[in-house]
Structure 1
Amino acid sequence: MQLTISNLLPVYFEKSRTQTSEVWGKEIVWQKGELIKIVAPSGSGKSSLINFLYGMRKDFDGAIRYDQQDIRNMNPEQLAPLRKDHVSIVFQDLRLFPHQTVAENLEIKRQLNPFHSPEKVLEMTERLGIGTKMNSLAKTCSYGEQQRVAIIRALLQPFDFLLLDEPFSHLDDRNSQNAMQLILEEAKARNASIVLADLERIEFFPYTRLFHL
């Protein structure tokens, strides 16, 4: 699978933004397996881009295509299998179920497409230091713990592209690097791409292509 971005620009941005951005207003093709880093200062449209790529918002000019499928023309029934089998995401605002436990948040996702076993899920939580939180309500966990839940949740399905919107913003260096290593292993096992958007360059992400938004 490949992801093609053609002359993309949020409708609320002036066209002059395309002069300084390496993404907005450009023709870009990302192939499955590439590691994409997007350096995106505050106000540059980072979260908008990630939401555009996931089909959550369509207030943009230009086109986004997964292979030959134009995401703007896809209805919810068409988007569902794309998200189920090909594109996973960690939202900046996480979007966990706050009144469900950590275990329930993960199991709900796992059952939608049983790519990993319950034992593998438990292994991931232990590895990221949240194994003791499985029976805690998500809303009672710290934001850093919730980020790790959201990261694991995104890894519980097949994907060709993994979209990450500031996935380590509330993690210290050790926890960030542990999470990044797990993400890289899961992406490699699928020969999948990672699209990581953050405010600054993350030195421990071994990107193959770098863009400034």
Structure 2
Amino acid sequence: MLIELDQIIPSPLPDKIIDSSEIWNLNLLIQAQSKTLISAQSGLGKSTLLHLIYGLRHDYSGQLLIDGKPARDLSFIQWEELRRESLSLVFQDLRLFPHLSAQDNLNLIPQSNPSSPSVMEMADRLGMESHLHQPVSTLSHGQRQRIAIMRALRKPFQILLLDEPFSHLDEINQTLACELIRDVVEKQQAGLILSSLGSVPALPFDDQYSL
């Protein structure tokens, strides 16, 4: 999947932010199967960028192209199909159901990814196997982030979008999560776009941009 940003400016966004950005109001091509890091301080549009690509926001000038097609021309049904089969997103706020167990949250994925390890294997790799049957409301934020990562990896995708997915993980758990993400993305022959407040040493990126 090819993502092209052509003079994109989200609304509203101050001119000061636009002028210093390596993405906004410029031409940018995100190649298929590439690993891209978007780094910036809070409030500069990291979540906005991922939401634009995921089709949750349309309040922008310029043009967003997905495989050469203008995103604005895609119908609701076409966006649903993209999100079901080609795009997977770890939201910054995670969007888990707190009253359900971690396992039940994972089971809500309607179509599992054949390239993804089993839930038990992912849970074992991330140190979450003993927490699968706990209500999400009883988990720490870092544990919830790991469940959200597992859920995103269960979906089929051509591009994996991750919005500050490691903000509450220590270095060891961040490395474990990065290794799992890298393995699934490479097996899937997919790309990823990750937003972060800073660097992510445990993942090899092809391109890095600052907002």
Q: TM-score range by the shorter chain?
A: over 0.9
Equivalent residue, structure 1, for 2:119: 121
What is the alpha-carbon distance in structure 2 between the residues aligned to residue 135 and residue 171 of structure 1?
Answer: 21
Q: Report the 3-state secondary structure (helix = DSSP H, G, I; strand = E; otherwise coil) of the residue aligned with 1:23.
A: coil
Give, in angstroms, the shift of residue 118 of structure 1: 10
Give, in angstroms, the shift of residue 45 of structure 1: 1.0
**2:199 partner amino acid:** R
Query: In the TM superposition, what whole-angstrom CA distance separates every residue of 1:111-160 from its partner, at most 9, and x where no partner exists?
Result: x1132499711110111011111111111111100000000000001111
Is 1:60 the counterpart of 2:98? The answer is no
Give, in angstroms, the shift of residue 207 of structure 1: 0.6
Equivalent residue, structure 1, for 2:207: 209
Equivalent residue, structure 2, for 1:5: 5
**2:63 partner amino acid:** A
What is the alpha-carbon distance in structure 1 between the residues aligned to residue 36 and residue 115 of structure 2?
Answer: 28
Equivalent residue, structure 2, for 1:107: 107
The number of aligned residues is 211
- TM (normalized to structure 2)? 0.95
What is the alpha-carbon distance in structure 1 between the residues aligned to residue 115 and residue 162 of structure 2?
Answer: 23
Structure 2: tracts of 5 or more residues without a match: none
Equivalent residue, structure 1, for 2:72: 72
Query: In the TM superposition, what whole-angstrom CA distance separates every residue of 1:145-194 from its partner, at most 9, and x where no partner exists?
Result: 00000000000011111111100000000000000000000000111111
Distance 1:155 1:118, change over 3 A: closer
**1:137 partner amino acid:** P
More displaced stretch, 173-182 vs 76-85 = 76-85
For residues 9-20 of structure 1, the aligned pairs below 5 Å read 9-20=9-20
Is 1:154 the counterpart of 2:152? The answer is yes
Give the fraction of aligned pairs with identical amino acids, expressed as a percent: 36
After TM superposition, the runs of 4+ consecutive aligned structure 1 residues lying more than 6 A away are none
Structure 1: tracts of 5 or more residues without a match: none
Is 1:28 the counterpart of 2:28? The answer is yes
Aligned partners of 2:112 and 2:156 also within 8 Å: no
Equivalent residue, structure 2, for 1:93: 93
Give, in angstroms, the shift of residue 17 of structure 1: 3.2
Equivalent residue, structure 1, for 2:40: 40
